[in-house]
Structure 1
Amino acid sequence: MTEDELLYVLALQHIPKIGDITAKKLINYCGSAEAVLKEKKANLLKIDGIGTITLNDLHSKIHLEEAEKELLFIKENDIECLYFADNEYPEKLKHCIDGPVLMFQSGQVNLKQQRIISIVGARKITTYGIAFCEKLVEALKPFNPVIVSGFAYGTDITAQKAAIKNDLQTIGCLAHGLNQIYPSVHKKYVAQVEKNGGFLTDFWSTDTFDRNNFLKRNRIIAGLSEATIVIESAEKGGSLVTADIANSYNRDVFAVPGRTTDSQSIGCNNLIKHQKAHVLSNPLDVPYILNWKLEDSKQPVVQKQLFVELDTEEKLIYNYLKTNNKQLLDVIALECQLPIFKVASVLLNMELKGVIRPLPGKLFELV
């Protein structure tokens, strides 16, 4: 996109009555944002769904004036702009009717031909939620997914820190412009995130910080990903909104079940109860349901060797499977007296070593 084209897209984005759906409709009809802003209102009113209220402020000079200021900010801060009609625009988000016309990006984001999942949940995450989230990201490392979240308190930052720890790309979707970071306490993670991925937003540097921005931001989190994972949630919360949006986009949703007495599990339990989410009881549920294969990932698959070194837990599982043939993950965990999260991680390591292989129905057997 040229600088002039970007200027007119910014100007169109600045018009209060024209949202993303309407803007894309106008651009598709006229051919460009510049053509929209120079077109007569009478001609635009011929478009289905476009009324006089929508176009009331169309030709005001203020939009181009403000767009010039924002364009200067973009240039001075080396921000990359992603236009919905360009090849660089995230592929999955192109299929969302309310996807942003224009997004702003910082860091080293690469979403081409990538497995992308979003991890969201309670801001007041419990120790159980933290442990599950960390184990989940660690277990998914061999599949090399991009971890998307909202860079907020609790689940968001837990997921993104886990991604960095496991050398996975992570994307923070912000509810404000790239001129600020909220919460400010997370500024210490900005450099790490930009080194391992980056930030995306469709808000300007001049946009007022507003609570409703978070709900608008959630459509980007859900739209970027092939699946949204809810770690924990109270009965109401932003992560449930993200899950609903993901469902509306026909994307997979996972929810971690919890005890009925736990307030931070009510939202997840309700998603499962109303069949709005898959039950996520162990990390391997994600690649199993999404049909991810290790041989398709960017991680090298290690062939079985004559003498494979196994640690204590791997030897325990190896000996159990040697005696009992193929078994379910839950049964292996029970019989070997190991936590299910640990068993899922150990099984992945053993698969990479070429010692075991997964079978349909979440079964595992020795090679």
Structure 2
Amino acid sequence: MLEEELIAVLTLQKVKGIGDIIAKKLISHCGSAQNVFKEKRGVLEKINGIGTLTIKNLYDKKYKESAEKEFKYISRNNIQSVYFQSDEYPERLKHCIDAPILLFQDGKINLKNQRIISIVGTRKMSLYGRDFINNFIEELKPYNPIIVSGFAYGVDITAHKAAIKNDLQTIGVLAHGLEKMYPKTHKKYVHQVNDNGGFFTEFWHKEEPLREHFLKRNRIVAGISEATIIVESAEKGGSLVTADIANSYSRDVFAVPGKVTDSLSKGCNALIKTNKAGILTCTQDLVDALNWEDTSLTKIAVQKQLFIDLQGEEKIIYDYLLKKGKEHMDVIALDCNIPVYKLATLLFSLEMKGVTRPLQGKLFECI
């Protein structure tokens, strides 16, 4: 990106009253960030959702002066800035309306591998959570996913370290500028992460890790990934916000279940109970749900044995799913004229025979 355009983008980031949604609307209408500041006020006032006070702020010189200082820092420190319209911008994040117009990148991030998952959870992790993450990521190694998290205490840093241990790329999404580091005790891991991936942040280099910054950070964690996994969370844990955001982006969400009496599992259990997350008990649950393996050969083998192994209502259900693809349990019951209580038993039997499998949200499909 040319210098003047980048300064214009940085200015839009800083102008009071302009968030990412409005900034994108202005850029789209005017053709570029530079053109936003060249456009007549009368024209800008006609854009839906752009108020007169916001337009007035556009012409306040202090914002451009701040942007020019930030540009000097970026240039001096060889910080890579990733614009939302560029090819280097995370593909899935492009489809999130409130995604940042600009990301700052450090490290050796390579997003060509689109198997990207986010792992988040409590900062006060138990041994159960730690062991699950370490085993889970080790078993994911053959699929070569990118592991994303927030570089915080507990689940976050455990996921980053497990990825590094298994030679997987990992990305830390920061809630502050690149000149800061929170928590300070994690500074010792920065070089390891940079050598095995890197960091993304939308915040300027001196910005502090404020509470509201963590909430904004969460939308990047959720938006960049194919799926978000909650390992442990209290009943009102912050990672539940990330789960809600991921659901709003129509992304897959999974939660690791735990004891009903365990405070660190209450959040995960609630997500599963309310169908806001699929249950995750092992690596294969994720692999199956995201279709990371080619199941075409399995389907062919099953079809050859269909008339031998399946009879009556089991065959009716299988034939139905074979024709329809994924379908909700209630719809299957209605279309196949089988009571739900009876259907649950039949679906479990088909699953045990290896011909169907459950998906998130009470969906089922043939294997």
After TM superposition, the score normalised by the length of structure 1 is 0.80
Asked if the contact 1:119/1:231 (under 8 Å) is kept, the reply is: yes
Asked if the contact 2:113/2:146 (under 8 Å) is kept, the reply is: no
Cα deviation for residue 359 of structure 1 reads 5.7
Distance 1:359 1:173 in 2: 39
In the alignment, does 2:55 pair up with 1:55?
Answer: yes
Residue 274 of structure 1 corresponds to which residue in structure 2? 274
Amino acid at match of 2:49: G
In the alignment, does 2:176 pair up with 1:151?
Answer: no
Distance 1:28 1:359 in 2: 50
SS of 1:105's partner is: strand
Cα deviation for residue 242 of structure 1 reads 0.4
Distance 1:287 1:180 in 2: 36
Residue 196 of structure 2 corresponds to which residue in structure 1? 196
Cα deviation for residue 294 of structure 1 reads 7.0
Distance 2:186 2:154 in 1: 11
Residue 223 of structure 1 corresponds to which residue in structure 2? 223
Distance 2:67 2:114 in 1: 33
Residue 185 of structure 1 corresponds to which residue in structure 2? 185
Matches within 5 A, 1:268-307: 268-293=268-293
Distance 1:294 1:127 in 2: 34
Distance 1:57 1:206 in 2: 22
SS of 1:241's partner is: helix
Cα deviation for residue 103 of structure 1 reads 0.5
Residue 86 of structure 1 corresponds to which residue in structure 2? 86
Matches within 5 A, 1:29-178: 29-178=29-178
Distance 2:52 2:41 in 1: 8
Distance 1:360 1:201 in 2: 44
Amino acid at match of 1:22: I
Asked if the contact 1:120/1:229 (under 8 Å) is kept, the reply is: yes
Aligned-residue sequence identity (percent) comes to 62
Cα deviation for residue 360 of structure 1 reads 5.1
SS of 2:228's partner is: strand
SS of 2:57's partner is: coil
Cα deviation for residue 245 of structure 1 reads 0.3
Residue 209 of structure 2 corresponds to which residue in structure 1? 209
Asked if the contact 1:142/1:294 (under 8 Å) is kept, the reply is: no
Cα deviation for residue 53 of structure 1 reads 2.7
Asked if the contact 1:176/1:209 (under 8 Å) is kept, the reply is: yes
Give the 3 Å change call, closer, same or farther, for CA 103–234 of structure 1 in structure 2: same
Distance 1:294 1:168 in 2: 22
Asked if the contact 1:218/1:241 (under 8 Å) is kept, the reply is: yes
CA deviations over 1:220-278 (Å, ceiling 9, x no partner): 00000010000000011221000000000000000001111100001001100110000
CA deviations over 1:100-141 (Å, ceiling 9, x no partner): 000000000011242000000000000000000111101111
SS of 1:118's partner is: strand
Distance 2:280 2:43 in 1: 52
Asked if the contact 2:104/2:201 (under 8 Å) is kept, the reply is: yes
Asked if the contact 1:107/1:194 (under 8 Å) is kept, the reply is: yes
Amino acid at match of 1:194: N
More helix by share: 2
SS of 1:56's partner is: helix
Residue 7 of structure 2 corresponds to which residue in structure 1? 7
Distance 2:136 2:209 in 1: 32
Structure 1 runs not aligned, ≥5 long? 296-357, 363-367
Asked if the contact 1:143/1:294 (under 8 Å) is kept, the reply is: no
Give the 3 Å change call, closer, same or farther, for CA 135–360 of structure 1 in structure 2: farther
Asked if the contact 1:37/1:58 (under 8 Å) is kept, the reply is: yes
Cα deviation for residue 54 of structure 1 reads 2.3
Q: Which moved more, 1:24-33 or 1:48-57?
A: 48-57
Asked if the contact 1:223/1:246 (under 8 Å) is kept, the reply is: yes
Give the 3 Å change call, closer, same or farther, for CA 144–131 of structure 1 in structure 2: same
Give the 3 Å change call, closer, same or farther, for CA 155–142 of structure 1 in structure 2: same
Compute the RMSD of aligned alpha carbons.
1.7
> Where in structure 1 do 4 or more consecutive aligned residues deviate above 3 Å?
358-362
Cα deviation for residue 10 of structure 1 reads 0.5
Amino acid at match of 1:216: K
CA deviations over 1:39-96 (Å, ceiling 9, x no partner): 2222111111111132231101111111111011111211111101111111000000
Amino acid at match of 2:92: K
Distance 1:163 1:294 in 2: 24
Asked if the contact 2:178/2:206 (under 8 Å) is kept, the reply is: no
SS of 1:57's partner is: helix
Matches within 5 A, 1:327-342: none
Distance 1:282 1:121 in 2: 17
Amino acid at match of 2:138: E
Question: Number of aligned pairs?
Answer: 302
Structure 2 runs not aligned, ≥5 long? 296-352, 358-367
Asked if the contact 1:226/1:252 (under 8 Å) is kept, the reply is: yes
SS of 1:284's partner is: helix
